């Protein structure tokens, strides 16, 4: 086939045209047509569009943000000129978190639009939500019409899922008193940068976000004039190489235009699963805060077991206990029944009882277990869940999660009592817990498998993430029509959820505050200020551990450490780098001219001699294959006031001696 014909056919089948911040289009074509297009001289690159997954207010108190306000009551008001673009599942504009009371006119630099659609009018934008767009062509081309999915949705920027509303309000939600999830975590809800403006780009539907739609959203956002882009989403591991990853490509163009991209590291638990790890993206892992949600168990022998859950339902008296494994349906093994999945339990055995269940694998749908028990006539669930016992889950019946200590007491009680009973108490909020933070059990871990000399730290999304921030049991605004979050058939306006999706907007908000204080700083300087001022200590003054058992962690877990918003405003020394430095770094890692063209959109040659990748001026230092001695170079820029003297201090890694010398 004539390549010219292939190009014309592809353009005719185009879903999105990218014309504002970079040039290109997405289309539904065959593999053969893709290969033919790649040979055409004017085509820079062709890569397959893939699906990405969407990865909660005490958290801001835990981060010490009130210190900024106390020292300067108007300090956070300076964020009113900062525009944050949120690529997610949309927004619920009627939420109190998005009122624009006290905000001035929309910044003149903003070129975006308020695109109307289903149940979304121009009146839904205001001086807080200054722009709203939505993208579905890529999703529908891969999955089919939105109407074919049996879930609530709006063909507009309105959020039927809740995820986008949650992340946006965590970043820039207005101050709302007495917010809670059905009385749990009651307090004042607020975003980290409550005066910042929001530009909403809905590219996610039913928890999935197509590459083609994400790229179109990034193209618009960069052109619209956002200062920061927040993406609480990413690909399943393993992450594609930078040059074939839509988020990496879009983020590079954002970086070139001075827009910082903050993205979640992922919730894949295991080492080498962090995503969004390109060095021009600020990758965020998740950690806990000093707050727990206890839903304890009163046994028939008057002993109380510690449990955790988001359980607002009151159980008026005690009920009999039964193991799921002892209530197997006909033809189901005891082991399988113990997992309490649909159609595995005998209703005649569990009716009117509290069922004790176990986890088969970390990704189990815990809520579905409670639904299965309710359908069989059960009245409650005790879930043995050693790894996720500190993560808040919502259930349709009184339910709670317990760890190893409680399990042993529970088993001992059941063995010694012929008619064991228990009662599950509603959740109480406990603040000031220690140790905190701890790395979240689900957060993706490094190292970076693509370029291991870059230490990106985060338990949720890199091969190292860059930084960690609160991402466990976070309260924020929600979409009241999101059916998954209804408890006792009551809709909710605020919800508590966990994930690197929740930690990412915390970092986005901190970046917005820094940008407001240092408006001329570029993405690299903001990244540096956040990373170099982070702490690796918890509130017991010990190295941050990993939830739930406090096991030892490393920079592969937390990157540079836990974010310190107050310190990040005045980092003193800053590590800066630009797009040219990025290209030199990629060249040193063997990038070909064709790969660089995929990323930049222009023919790019590597400059000789190559600079060692370990000398990329990143605000962390990583040497992937140290054999003997190695010299690593960094350049810092002083942004403080008045003359200052800095002294180098090094904690040598095990088996390594480090010496710091100054070169003028």
Spatial separation of the C-alpha atoms in residues 8 and 40, rounded to whole Å: 12
Quickly tell me which residue has 């074939």 as its tokens.
244
Nearest to 637 by CA among 509, 518, 508: 518
What does the angle CA 409 – CA 415 – CA 420 come to, to the nearest 5 degrees? Answer: 85
Give me the residues paired with residue 573 across strands.
Answer: 638
DSSP secondary structure code for residue 280 in this structure: T
Active-site entry in 163, 253, 506, 517: 163
Spatial separation of the C-alpha atoms in residues 323 and 381, rounded to whole Å: 10
Spatial separation of the C-alpha atoms in residues 560 and 620, rounded to whole Å: 7
The answer to whether 442 and 427 are in contact (CB under 8 A) is no
Catalytic (active site) residue 302: no
Active-site entry in 21, 26, 88, 506: 88
Quickly tell me which residue has 């509603």 as its tokens.
426
Dihedral sign, CA of 308, 313, 314, 318? negative
Catalytic (active site) residue 88: yes
Active-site entry in 501, 528, 560, 588: 501
Spatial separation of the C-alpha atoms in residues 418 and 42, rounded to whole Å: 79
Structure tokens at 172: 């820039």
Catalytic (active site) residue 501: yes
Dihedral sign, CA of 186, 191, 194, 199? negative
**Between the CA of residue 522 and those of 44, 53, 187, 224, 227, what are the distances in Å?**
27, 28, 35, 17, 9
The answer to whether 204 and 164 are in contact (CB under 8 A) is yes
Spatial separation of the C-alpha atoms in residues 440 and 497, rounded to whole Å: 13
Residues 6+ away with beta carbon under 8 Å from 544: 287, 435, 437, 438, 439, 468, 536, 537, 538, 553, 557, 558, 561, 562
Q: How many other C-beta atoms are found inside a 10 Å radius of the C-beta of residue 93?
A: 25
Mapping DSSP onto H, E and C, the string for 426-479 reads CCEEEECCCCCCCECCCCCCCCCCCCCCCCCECCCCCCCCEEEEECCCEEEECC
Query: Phi first, then psi: what are they for 282, rounded to 5°?
Result: -85, 110
Catalytic residues: 88, 163, 501
């Amino acid at each position: 086939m004539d390549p010219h014909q292939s190009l014309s056919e592809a353009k005719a089948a185009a879903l999105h045209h990218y014309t504002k911040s970079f040039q290109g289009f997405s289309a539904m074509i065959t593999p053969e047509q893709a290969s033919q297009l790649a040979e055409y001289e004017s085509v820079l690159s062709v890569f397959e569009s893939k699906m990405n997954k969407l990865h909660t207010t005490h958290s801001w108190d835990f981060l010490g943000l009130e210190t900024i306000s106390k020292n300067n009551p108007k300090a956070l008001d300076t964020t009113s000129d900062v525009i944050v673009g949120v690529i997610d599942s949309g927004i619920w504009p009627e939420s109190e978190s998005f009122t624009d009371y006290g905000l001035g006119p929309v910044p003149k630099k903003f070129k975006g639009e308020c695109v109307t659609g289903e149940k979304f009018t121009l009146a839904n934008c205001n001086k807080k939500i200054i722009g709203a767009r939505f993208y579905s062509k890529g999703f529908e081309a891969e999955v089919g019409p939105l109407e074919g999915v049996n879930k609530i949705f709006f063909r507009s920027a309105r959020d039927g899922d809740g995820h986008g509303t949650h992340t946006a309000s965590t970043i820039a939600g207005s101050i709302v008193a007495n917010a809670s999830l059905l009385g749990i975590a009651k307090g004042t809800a607020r975003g980290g940068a409550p005066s910042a403006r929001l530009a909403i780009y809905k590219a996610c539907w039913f928890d999935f976000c197509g590459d083609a739609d994400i790229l179109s959203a990034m193209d618009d956002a960069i052109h619209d004039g956002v200062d920061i882009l927040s993406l609480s989403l990413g690909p399943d591991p393993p992450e594609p190489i930078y040059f074939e990853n839509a988020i990496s490509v879009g983020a590079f163009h954002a970086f070139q235009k001075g827009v910082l991209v903050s993205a979640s590291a992922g919730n894949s638990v295991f080492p080498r699963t962090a995503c969004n790890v390109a060095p021009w993206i600020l990758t965020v892992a998740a950690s806990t805060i000093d707050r727990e949600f206890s839903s304890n168990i009163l046994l028939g022998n008057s002993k109380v077991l510690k449990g955790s859950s988001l359980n607002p339902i009151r159980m008026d008296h005690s009920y009999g206990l039964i193991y799921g494994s002892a209530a197997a349906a006909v033809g189901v093994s005891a082991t399988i029944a113990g997992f309490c999945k649909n159609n595995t339990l005998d209703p005649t055995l569990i009716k009117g009882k509290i069922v004790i269940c176990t986890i088969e694998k970390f990704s189990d749908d815990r809520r579905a277990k409670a639904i299965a028990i309710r359908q069989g006539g059960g009245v409650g669930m005790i879930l043995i869940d050693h790894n996720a016992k500190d993560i808040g889950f919502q259930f349709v019946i009184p339910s709670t999660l317990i760890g190893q200590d409680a399990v042993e007491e529970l088993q001992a009680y059941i063995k010694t009592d012929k008619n064991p009973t228990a009662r599950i108490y509603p959740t109480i909020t406990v603040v000031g817990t220690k140790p905190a933070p701890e790395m979240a059990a689900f957060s993706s871990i490094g190292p970076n498998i693509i370029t291991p000399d870059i230490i990106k730290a985060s338990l949720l999304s890199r091969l190292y993430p860059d930084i960690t921030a609160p991402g466990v049991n976070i309260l924020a605004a929600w979409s009241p029509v999101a059916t998954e979050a209804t408890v006792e058939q009551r809709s909710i306006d605020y919800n508590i959820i966990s994930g690197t999706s929740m930690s990412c907007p915390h970092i986005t908000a901190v970046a917005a505050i820094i940008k407001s204080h240092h408006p001329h700083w570029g993405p690299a300087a903001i990244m540096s200020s956040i990373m170099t001022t982070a702490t690796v200590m918890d509130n017991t003054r010990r190295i941050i551990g990993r939830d739930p058992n406090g096991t030892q962690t490393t920079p592969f877990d937390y990157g540079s450490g836990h974010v310190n918003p107050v310190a990040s405003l005045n980092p003193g020394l800053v590590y800066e780098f630009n797009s040219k430095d990025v290209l030199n770094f990629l060249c040193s890692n063997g990038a070909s001219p064709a790969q660089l063209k995929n990323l930049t959109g222009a023919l790019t040659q590597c400059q000789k001699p190559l600079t060692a990748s370990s000398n990329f001026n990143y605000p962390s230092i990583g040497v992937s294959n140290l054999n003997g001695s190695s010299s690593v170079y960094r350049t810092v820029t002083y942004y403080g006031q008045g003359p200052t003297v800095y002294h180098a201090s090094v904690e040598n890694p095990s088996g390594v001696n480090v010496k710091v010398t100054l070169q003028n």
